[in-house]
Amino acid sequence: MAEDYNRISFKNKNIIKRRINYRWHSIGEQLGFAVNLYLDNLDLMHFTYFSYPILYFKKFLATVHDTTPLLFKTGKASTKNKLIYNIKHLFFRLIIWCQIIRALRIITPTNTVKKQLINLYGKTISEKIIPIYEGVSYQIKKTKENKSLSKKFDSFFIYVGNFYPHK
């Protein structure tokens, strides 16, 4: 988020932090983001989301969190009409295909996602997919329960993610 930009800093001078202000999944993002990346002359880029500039041909890693939009084309992930959704879904499939084929390595959160990608794109990509499990071990960090929240709220639900119909 934009408000978090100044809160994050890196001590290593070889790590570049940029604020890129393009609408998600737009032509501006595709073109402008690629130009920004080329201007930074990176040795390696890590795309943590499936939307990446397909005109970027330098070395990169990709994280694919899940294959749900590839396996279940429902339109429920869109607030657009059906024609616009179908056009955007076609470009989504092209972009993720380019990302899978071109990535040096692909990180997945589970072996299941790895297997799904292999089923979708073929065995030739299997060697470059590395499952890295998400989360924190409770043995690493033990925290105390925050009882002040239960005093303030009777009950509550926390949702972390995008607010779209399919979520």
In a domain, 157, yes or no: no
Which tens digits make up the pLDDT trace of 75-116? 665 677 888 888 888 998 999 999 999 999 999 999 999 999
Residues 154, 125: Cα–Cα separation, whole Å = 49
User: Which domain, by its residues, includes 67?
Assistant: 2-152
pTM more than 0.95:
no
Q: Report pLDDT for 142.
A: 66
- Residue 123 has a pLDDT of 97
Q: Is residue 165 part of a domain?
A: no
Q: What is the average pLDDT score of the chain?
A: 85
In a domain, 38, yes or no: yes
Q: What is the model's pLDDT at position 140?
A: 59
Quote the number of domains for the chain.
1
Q: Is residue 162 part of a domain?
A: no
Q: Is pLDDT at 9 greater than 90 in this prediction?
A: no
- For residue 138, what pLDDT is reported? 63
Classify residue 158: in a domain, yes or no: no
The answer as to whether 65 is a domain residue is yes
Residue 104 lies in a domain: yes
Interval 42-74: pLDDT, tens:
999 999 988 899 999 999 999 999 998 888 877
